[in-house]
Amino acid sequence: MSADFLDDLEALLRQRKADPPEGSYSATLLTDPVAVQRKIMEEAFEVCLELGADDVHPDRAAEEAADLVFHLMAGLVGAGVPWESVTDVLRNRRQGGER
């Protein structure tokens, strides 16, 4: 279910890239590589802040992680890198017993 949801989100982002609606935040990310790179770094930093807290709040950590995954996916879609190629790498590492 989780993977299906990410597939759907990727399909929506691809649609936004092909036909950007006015006022779409994702469309701006998809057409501005520097902006999306900055957001990925910002969101990664925010995840780290949450994970480094003395008392990690699971809901807040999940919110920040979701922001990071969303912006990472937008960066990948913008660059034409399929999400499946990321999951393939992870799958191959597991099957190959690299880690």
Ligand X SMILES: N=c1c2ncn([C@@H]3O[C@H](COP(=O)(O)OP(=O)(O)OP(=O)(O)O)[C@@H](O)[C@H]3O)c2ncn1[C@@H]1O[C@H](COP(=O)(O)O)[C@@H](O)[C@H]1O
Nearest distance from C-beta of residue 69 to ligand X, angstroms: 8
- Note whether 32 and 16 are within 8 A (CB): no
- Note whether 79 and 33 are within 8 A (CB): yes
Nearest distance from C-beta of residue 34 to ligand X, angstroms: 15
The nearer residue to ligand X, 53 or 92, going by C-beta atoms, is 53
Among candidates 63, 72, 9, which has minimal Cα distance to 40?
A: 72
- Residue 63's alpha-carbon distances to 44, 60, 78, 94, in angstroms, are 12, 5, 22, 27
Q: Which of 35, 44, 67, 72 binds ligand X (CB under 6 A)?
A: 67
> Rule CB under 6 A: which of 26-65 touch ligand X?
26-27
The nearer residue to ligand X, 49 or 79, going by C-beta atoms, is 49
- Taking the C-alpha atoms of residue 8 and residue 16, their distance in angstroms, rounded to an integer, is 12
The nearer residue to ligand X, 79 or 92, going by C-beta atoms, is 79
Residues in contact with ligand X by CB under 6 A are 9, 12, 16, 24-27, 67, 70
